[in-house]
A = this chain, B = another copy of it.
Amino acid sequence: MKKFNTSKISGTQELLPGVQAIFSNLKRKVSDTYLKHGYQEIETPSIERIEVLLAKAGGDTEKQIYKLIKTGDKSIESADQALRFDHTVPLARYVVEHENDLNFPLKVSQLGLNFRGERAQKGRFREFYQLDIDVIGRGELSFAYDADIISTLLDALNSFNLDTPILARINNRKILTGFLEALSLTDKSNEIMNIIDHAEKVTPEQTKVSLEELPLDEPTVKQILDLINLHGSRSEVIKALGNLEIDNPTFKQGLIELDLILYLLESQGLTEQIEADLKIVRGLDYYTGTVFEFILPEHRGIGSIAGGGRYDNLTKHFSEQSFPGVGGSIGLTRLFFILNEENLLDPDTDNLLDYCVIPMSEHEYDESLNIAQKLRDNGHSTTIVFTSKKLSDKLTYASKIAKNGIVIGAEEIASHSYKAKNFQTGETTDLHIDVISKPEDFWSDED
Q: Footprint of B on A, CB under 8 Å?
A: 1-9, 12-18, 20-21, 23-24, 35-49, 51-52, 55, 63-64, 66-76, 79, 81, 83, 93-94, 96-98, 101-108, 113, 115, 117-119, 126-127, 137, 140, 142, 144-145, 147-148, 151, 234, 259-260, 263-264, 266-269, 317-321, 353, 356, 362, 365-366, 369-370, 373, 376, 379-388, 397, 400-402, 436, 438-439, 442
Q: List 27 A-B contacts (CB under 8 A).
A: A1-B319, A2-B318, A3-B318, A4-B93, A6-B52, A6-B318, A8-B45, A8-B48, A12-B45, A20-B43, A23-B43, A35-B353, A36-B380, A36-B381, A38-B356, A38-B384, A40-B353, A70-B118, A74-B76, A75-B76, A103-B397, A140-B387, A142-B386, A148-B386, A259-B442, A267-B370, A268-B370
Q: Does the CB pair B6–A71 fall under 8 Å?
A: no
Whether B264 lies near A365 (C-beta < 8 A) is yes
Q: Which residues of B contact A72 (CB under 8 A)?
A: 119
Q: How many copies of the chain does the oligomer comprise?
A: 2
Contact B40–A15 (Cβ < 8 Å): no
- In the complex with contacts A17-B41, A38-B383, A438-B267 CB distance below 8 A: yes
Question: Given A67-B69, A320-B1: A12 and B47 within 8 A (CB)?
Answer: yes
Q: How far is the CA of A82 from the CA of B351 in the complex (A)?
A: 31
Q: A14 is contacted by which of B21, B45, B113, B318 (Cβ under 8 Å)? A: B45
Query: Contacts A4-B55, A69-B68: A401 and B40 contacting too (C-beta < 8 A)?
Result: yes
* CB-defined contacts of A234 to chain B, threshold 8 Å: 439
Instruction: Check if B71 sits within 8 Å of A107, measured CB to CB.
Output: no
Report chain B residues within 8 Å CB of A147.
369
Q: How far is the CB of A42 from chain B (nearest CB, A)?
A: 5
Assess whether A68 is in contact with B68, with CB atoms less than 8 Å apart: yes
Is the pair B381, A35 in contact by a Cβ cutoff of 8 Å? Answer: yes
Determine if B47 and A9 form an interchain contact, defined as CB atoms under 8 angstroms apart.
yes
- Least Cβ distance of A95 to chain B in Å? 9
Q: Which of A6, A51, A115, A386 has the most CB of B within 10 A?
A: A6
CA gap between A369 and B64 in the complex, in Å: 40
Residues of B within 8 A of A21 (CB): 40-41
B320 touches A3 (CB 8 A): yes
B68 & A101 in contact (Cβ 8 Å cutoff): no
Determine which of B14, B108, B376 lies in contact with A37 in the assembled complex, contact meaning CB atoms within 8 Å: B376
From B48, B263, B317, B320, give the contact of A439 (CB < 8 A): B263
CA distance A238 to B126 in the complex (A): 53
Determine whether the beta carbon of B68 is less than 8 Å from that of A117.
yes
Complex CA distance for A107 and B38, rounded to whole angstroms: 35
Alpha-carbon distance between A51 and B69 when the two chains are bound, in angstroms: 16
Q: Is the CB of A366 within 8 A of B17?
A: no
Task: Name A47's contact: one of B52, B101, B127, B259 (CB within 8 Å).
Answer: B127
Complexed CA–CA distance, A438 and B234 (Å): 14
| CA A383 to CA B108, docked complex, whole Å | 11
Say yes or no: A16-B69 contact (C-beta < 8 A), given A1-B321, A36-B376, A386-B105.
no
Min CB distance A375 to B, Å, is 9
Q: Which residue of the partner chain B has the closest CB to A108? A: B17
Complex contact A42–B71 (CB within 8 A):
no
Which B residues are CB-close (under 8 A) to A42? 15-17, 20
Cβ–Cβ contact B4 & A94, under 8 A: no
Q: Which of A7, A51, A269 has the most CB of B within 10 A?
A: A269
> Taking A75-B76, A383-B37 as contacts, is the C-beta distance between A442 and B260 under 8 angstroms?
yes
A130 to chain B, nearest CB (A): 14
Partner among B79, B260, B318, B387 whose Cβ is within 8 Å of the Cβ of A142:
B387
In contact, B97 and A7 (Cβ under 8 angstroms): yes
**A301→B73 CA distance, assembly (Å):** 35
Residue of B whose beta carbon sits closest to that of A398: B103
Asked if A319 and B47 sit within 8 Å, CB to CB, the answer is no
Which B residues are in CB contact (< 8 Å) with A319? 1-4, 6
- Are the C-beta atoms of A118 and B71 separated by less than 8 Å? yes
Contact check, A52 vs B320: say whether CB atoms are below 8 A apart: no
Contact B353 A38 (CB under 8 A): yes
Contacts of A7 in B (CB 8 A): 97
